[in-house]
Structures are given as C-alpha cells and as structure tokens.
Structure 1
Amino acid sequence: MDHADDTRNAGSCDPGGELGADAGACGGRHPIQGLWKLVSYEVEVRKDGEKLPVMGDHPTGYAYFTPEKRVFFVLTGEDRKPAKDDAQRAQLLETLVSYTGKFRLDGDKWIADLDVAWDPKWVGSEQTRTFTLDGERLRVLTPWRVMPNWADKGETRSIVTFERAKE
C-alpha cells in the first residue's frame, strides 16, 4: 500500500513528500510534527447533537508526532485521584484515552496503525482523525463511533483542540 503524504490541506506549508523529507518551507518538518498540549476535549452525541465535557472542563494530555511517523496520544480527565479499590480503578479507565502507532498523512487526515492502546480492542486497529492546523493550534475531529469510555452515549465523535507545546 502506498502511504505517501498528501499535505495540501494540512497546514501553512507543504513539505512535498514523506514527513520531514523536504527541508523547504517547513524547515524540514511537516507542521503537525512535534509536541501538542491539550486545550479542550468535548464529545458530540450523534442522536441529539449534545456536546459534553466527558473528561471535565480542564482535562490534560498531549499528542506527539515524531519525525519517524509515530504518534503518541494520551488524554486524562480532570481531577483524577488515586484509586482505593477495584471500582475506583475501573472508573479511572473512563477518563483515559491513550494509544501509539505508526501514522501516515492523507490530506487533512492522519491514519494511525495502533500497536499499543489503553483499550485492547484498539490494538491492531486503524484510527483515522481529521485535523486542521491554524498557526499554533491543532483541531482534531474523530469519526462517529461508540467509545468504550462512554458507550452508554451511543455513537459520539470527539472534538479535540491542542496548542503547540514548548519542547
């Protein structure tokens, strides 16, 4: 399968090929490459359009896109506390999303082939995210799906905003 990058819609410069292969307008890197700090995370419920801060008003997290085309993604909910029993440990999983895998770019999408994830069902899956870059902001939209963390909501999609972090 050809995984050549198509970056025409992905940002303010076009590295023209494999991630970071052209040292031209992007200074040798695609604009998505690097460390991104979570600004906001909300979930839209498909059945009624309701938007919910399922991770709280101030969740924390990072996304990191390496020059070697690996993405690391970890988000945690607001006010997480150490668990004191099995029920609390299980509840902590509801406020965690974490995965890593090799990624490729296709226009305004990144596609990650996951080899590690907080939910074993995601290991071996292909996760596609639509993104837009606006200066130092990265906005991410997931496809509609049933998330294991809040399956009771039915189909949802996540709307995630990051700002470029100081590395």
Structure 2
Amino acid sequence: MSTSGRYATLLVLAAGAAPLAARAESDPRLTGLWKLVSYEVEVRTDGTKMPVMGERPTGYAYFTPENRVFFVLTGEGRKPAETDAQRADLLGTLVSYSGTFRTEGDQWTAKLDVAWDPKWVGTEQTRMFSLDGERLRVLTPWRVMPNWADKGETRSIVTFVRGKD
C-alpha cells in the first residue's frame, strides 16, 4: 500500500473512532428513574427551610445512559385551572426541564435545552448530589429561583428514591 493509501486508511479509521471518543459515559450511579420524595427550600438570610411543594410533592427525574436528564416536579394538591390566574399560579408549583449533562465527582451540570421557565433555556445548572443506598439527595447552589424570587437567595434540597423503570 502506498503512503497516501495508508494515510487515507488512517483518516477513515480516525474519523470512525472520533464519535466514540467524544461521547462521555453516563455515571452509572445516577442512570435510571428517580421518584421525588421531598422538596425543601432553604432561605440563605435566615436558614429557614420550607416544604415549598407541600409535604407530598410528586415528580420524577430520569438520567439516561446517553447523558440526558429529565425533571418534572410538581407540588402537592395541584388542581385543574379554569382561569388565566389559576393557570399562572400553577407555574409556582412546577419545576420542569431537560438537557444533556456531565458529571464530575459528586456533582452534575446540565445544559438545558427545554425548561418550564424560558430564562433557563441555554443555561447550565449545576447540582451537588449524594447517594445513600437507593436515596438520592440533591442540593442546588444558592440562587434566586424563579418560583420563590420573593425569598431572595435560596437553595433547594431535593430527595428522590430509586424508581422502577
């Protein structure tokens, strides 16, 4: 085989291998379905914690092996809306987004391409997490959350249990 033939063969092999090298592996500790157990918000100024989504919120998080995450979290006692004001109020008991994610140690960063609040689309959201058996505890950084902006800087403490796929 000529030098140019070997070079062309190497280029083809390298091009075929590039997508495999570029695709990061999912963290197997997170992969799968997680069912929401609790959602608390801690207020930075005074340390108070509030169950902002009620005592029994509902929702799920799903981490795919392809590094995509989906969150749909809703507050307790939501009722169908009949007026524009009621529909607007429902946004206060909803957190929903999806994007690709990467992990580093005990934190993930999701680059959002879909979100219940359009201000989050295109942002990166970083979360710290800890695992205790089948429980996943998630802690957000301090920030002003759209749903509770009147509280100033808060962080969410969200707990999940491993769900059944």
**Do both share a fold (TM > 0.5)?**
yes
Shorter-chain TM band: 0.7 to 0.9
**1:154 equivalent in structure 2:** 152
Q: CA shift at 1:19, angstroms?
A: 2.4
Query: What code does the residue aligned with 1:99 have?
Result: Y
- Larger proportion of helix: 2
Paired residues, number = 144
| Unmatched 5+ stretches in structure 2 | 1-20
Q: Rg: which structure is higher?
A: 2
Query: What code does the residue aligned with 1:71 have?
Result: V
Give the TM-score of the pair, scaled to structure 1. Answer: 0.83
Superposed, which structure 2 residues align to 1:3-152 within 5 Å? 18-20=24-26, 30-152=28-150
**Aligned partner of residue 150 in structure 2, secondary structure:** helix
**Aligned partner of residue 91 in structure 2, secondary structure:** helix
* Cα distance between partner residues in 2 of 1:56 and 1:86: 23
Q: Which runs of structure 1 show a deviation greater than 4 angstroms over 4 or more consecutive aligned residues?
A: none
Q: Percent identity?
A: 77
CA RMSD of aligned residues (A): 1.5
* Cα distance between partner residues in 2 of 1:48 and 1:84: 37
Give the TM-score of the pair, scaled to structure 2. Answer: 0.84
Output one character per residue of 1:121-146: Cα deviation in whole Å (capped at 9) or x when no partner: 00000000000111101000000000
| Unmatched 5+ stretches in structure 1 | 5-16, 21-28
Q: CA shift at 1:18, angstroms?
A: 3.8
**1:164 equivalent in structure 2:** 162
**Aligned partner of residue 119 in structure 2, secondary structure:** helix
